[in-house]
Amino acid sequence: MDLNWKSALEQLKNSGNLPEGEAITPPESSAGKPGTSEKLHVVVERKGRHGKTATIIEGFTCDDSTLQDIARKLKQTIGTGGSARGGEILLQGEWREKVIEILRKEGHKIS
């Protein structure tokens, strides 16, 4: 049996076993979409940063380009520097409340 759902659906459609008017849509992938099953953690740290405060958002499961886009939006909205890599975003300064507010508006779950 063919495991490719697209070809299986096409075969059903061509054989006439698929009733007309009933649209079958493929399940949407949740990878990279904000607010899916990922729970984010927002932490403010000073340890190992020479006394400078940093806000760290951990728990992203999206790809790096999406992570970069989220980080860019946060940095521009807040007006601070930072970086994004390895499933986390680092912002310079103490921005915990502002970050939580912005991410919740975007549909992310914060714990």
Question: What CATH number does residue 91 fall under?
Answer: 3.30.780.10
Give 13's pLDDT tier (boundaries 50, 70, 90): confident
What is the average per-residue pLDDT within 49-76?
92
* pLDDT (0 to 100) of residue 24: 54
Give the chain's domain count: 1
12 Cβ contact list (under 8 Å, min separation 6): 18
* pLDDT (0 to 100) of residue 1: 46
Q: Which residues of 65-84 are buried (b: 16+ CB within 10 A; e: fewer)?
A: ebbeebbeebbeebeeebeb
Task: Determine the structural domain holding residue 54 and report its residue range.
Answer: 32-110
